[in-house]
Amino acid sequence: MSQLEDAATNGEVVDLRPPPKPDEITRFYWEAAAEGRLVLQRCDACSRFQYPPELVCTYCQHEGFEPTEVSGQATLYSFALVERAFHAGFVNQVPYVLAMIELAEQPGLRMLTNILDADPEELAIGMELELCFDAIGEQQLPQFRPAKVLR
Amino acid sequence: MSALSRELAIVGVGYSELSRAGSPEPKAISLVAAKEALADAGLSGTDVDGIFEYRFGPESPGAQDMARLIGAPDLAAFGDLMPTNPSGLGAALAGAMAVASGVCETVLVFRCMTREGGYQGGVSGFSDPVLGGQQFETPYGDSGGILMTMALHKQRWMYEYGRTEEDFGHIAVNARRWSALNPRAVLRDPVTMEDYLSSRSIVAPLRLLDCDYPINGAVATVITTAERAKDLRQRPVLIDSMTYATGSRVDWNFTDDFLYGGTRDCADRLWSRSSVTASDVDVAQLYDGFTQVTVSWIEAMGFCGLGEFGDWVEGGDKIGPGGALPVNTGGGQLAEGRLHAISLLNEAVVQLRGQAEARQVPDAQVGLVACGLYPQCGAMVLKGG
Ligand SMILES: [Zn+2]
């Protein structure tokens, strides 16, 4: 019996979302997330942040980074309301909001995220968001929610 | 003279039947399209020395399968192009480069899609940990191919330009105005703006009528030198310029330009190498896997300013039958059916030959074909011979 059928039988909600599998390039990011911190690559040469992690700085191709914690302050760049699962791992998640957010540290520094603790009707591009975390398997997934204290 | 190292001509176009129902054998319909394209050109399989096809997976036979089916004696170049290419036009771009370089003399390019064997785009089902770039997408439920990115794109577009969904609705309505004139099209009933605005949500704000229409079908095209084309059956259609583009900081979600991706780079390079300008275009075939992709291309190509499509399109008349810039004259992926846009190339060729019958754009001399979006852009300017 599948995990999903198991869950249906027992009436419990099982998290079937596929977790990230850290690799040499991304391990620092997920290790920091596990400690409740959002840490991005910051280029030693041009000082820009980048997301997602990559082997080199995608602005200047320099190969050295300082892993740097960011504030978690962000604004909503765009969002979509997913009411039907397009992945079996999300049948227990719908409806959910998939969003693109822009971090306060740098123009154009965008991340994909869900927007937690929010009524989709109240979402508006430009609204202020704050960082939170969401357990996925044994890992912590950086997420965002409407800012409780407006800046 | 074009900017290419040898002058190229498109000399043959072919189609299988396009259908929504049933589950035709991909090899069989690909062969129908290939034979029709070769016959259209006045050529046979023994003339072909290059084959390129675009695919996502097992929905299509490969280039070598096709060589065996048409009896190509040997291939000087071939390729099975995987899905990072500029959609179906990728096969034609690769084939054109093979001929322009002198590696090949006559190439066959094709795309086959079936609903059963084909890539459905929408559904995947594994909870296994995700690798690479997917670590930053899939755990958030960014799945279903590019559907979610398209929803985010549509939302951001409306916000940045202060526009409404009607802008995209003009593309959906336009597709059916043209497909009504195309006997091959799978969807031929008209739709209204009201139909568009009330069509069901796929991933809000993306609607059903924003999305192309999955079908069974195969399309093939034959490309050779302009010199060789003089002796062939059809009035040749010449490739004036062509290019790919990715845009900077190449990615679907985290690219520099989230609204236009590589389309503006593609357009700038295309026009810089062309003997004509955007104002010379008589007929435009612009990718419509999603309505907003066509809007992006219209603006990127310079037919109007960025964000100005909705005012420019004159309530849709500008791009419809009799309009100043006829767009997607066969009904495109939205209405003729989803073929990953190699069909847009064939439609341009048919228009420039003057063979488009009820949907013929009068005296069409210059055609534009553009395909893909974000890092998967490609385009061609074509001229009647
Ligand atoms: Zn740098």
The answer as to whether B67 is a domain residue is yes
In a shared domain, residues B225 and B173: no
- Contacts with B151 from chain A: Cβ below 8 Å: 80, 98
In this complex, the residue of A93, A100, A110 whose CB is nearest that of residue B141 is A93
In a shared domain, residues B174 and B78: no
Instruction: Please indicate if any CB of chain A lies within 8 Å of the CB of B204.
Output: yes
pLDDT for the residue A6 = 52
Residue B50 CB partners (closer than 8 Å, separation 6+): B75, B76, B77, B78, B95, B98, B99, B103, B104, B105, B106, B107, B108
The answer as to whether A95 is a domain residue is yes
B58 C-beta neighbours (distance < 10 Å), count: 12
Residue A139 has pLDDT above 90, yes or no: yes
**Over chain B, what HEC string results?**
CCCCCCCEEEEEEEECCCECCCCCCHHHHHHHHHHHHHHHHCCCHHHCCEEEEECCCCCCCCHHHHHHHHCCCCCCEEEEECCCCCCCHHHHHHHHHHHHCCCCCEEEEEEEECCCCCCCCCCECCCCCECHHHHHCHHHCCCCCCHHHHHHHHHHHHHHHCCCCHHHHHHHHHHHHHHCCCCCCCCCCCCCHHHHHHCCEEEECEEHHHECCECEEEEEEEEEEHHHHCCCCCCCEEEEEEEEECCCCCCCCCCCCCCCCCHHHHHHHHHHCCCCCHHHCCEEEECCCEHHHHHHHHHHCCCCCCCCHHHHCHHHHHHCCCCCCCECCCCHHHHCCECCCHHHHHHHHHHHHCCCHHHCCCCCCEEEEEECCCCCEEEEEEEEC
pLDDT for the residue A109 = 97
> How big is the A-B interface in CB pairs under 8 Å?
131
In a shared domain, residues B193 and B256: yes
In a shared domain, residues B223 and B196: no
pLDDT band at B371, cuts 50/70/90? very high
- Contacts with B258 from chain A: Cβ below 8 Å: 77-78, 100, 110
- Contacts with A7 from chain B: Cβ below 8 Å: none
Q: Does A98 contact B159 at a Cβ distance shorter than 8 Å?
A: no
The answer as to whether B137 is a domain residue is no
- Contacts with B136 from chain A: Cβ below 8 Å: 20, 51-52, 111-112
Question: Mean pLDDT lowest for which of B82-96, B115-129, B298-312?
Answer: B115-129
Number of folded domains in chain A? 1
Q: Which domain holds residue A136?
A: 3-146
pLDDT for the residue B123 = 53
| pTM, entire model | 0.95
In a shared domain, residues B153 and B42: no
Average pLDDT score over chain A: 92
- In this structure, what token pair is assigned to residue B98? 């093979």
pLDDT for the residue A2 = 47
pLDDT in tens, B229-257: 999 999 999 999 999 999 999 898 999 99
Q: Which domain holds residue B229?
A: 1-119+215-234
Residue B53 has pLDDT above 60, yes or no: yes
pLDDT for the residue A87 = 87
CA distance B376 to chain A (A): 18
pLDDT for the residue A112 = 97
Report the percent of chain A where pLDDT is more than 70.
92
Region B83-89: what's the mean pLDDT? Answer: 87
What CATH number is associated with residue B242?
A: 3.40.47.10
Residue B352 near residue B340 (C-beta atoms within 8 A): no
Residue B362 has pLDDT above 50, yes or no: yes
- Contacts with A99 from chain B: Cβ below 8 Å: 152
pLDDT in tens, B110-159: 999 988 865 555 455 677 888 999 999 999 999 877 899 999 999 999 99
The answer as to whether A36 is a domain residue is yes
Instruction: Please indicate if any CB of chain A lies within 8 Å of the CB of B362.
Output: no
Query: What is the value of ipTM here, to two decimals?
Result: 0.94
* Closest chain B residue by Cα to residue A112: B137
Residue A127 has pLDDT above 70, yes or no: yes
pLDDT band at B56, cuts 50/70/90? confident
In this complex, the residue of A20, A23, A77 whose CB is nearest that of residue B139 is A20
In a shared domain, residues B243 and B383: yes
Q: Does A20 contact B130 at a Cβ distance shorter than 8 Å?
A: yes
Residue A13 has pLDDT above 80, yes or no: no
CA distance B108 to chain A (A): 35
In this complex, the residue of A18, A98, A114 whose CB is nearest that of residue B130 is A18
In a shared domain, residues B230 and B357: no
In this complex, the residue of A22, A58, A89 whose CB is nearest that of residue B127 is A89
Q: Does B156 contact A125 at a Cβ distance shorter than 8 Å?
A: yes
- Contacts with A31 from chain B: Cβ below 8 Å: none
In a shared domain, residues B205 and B179: yes
Residue B223 to residue A103: CA distance in whole angstroms? 48
pLDDT for the residue A1 = 37
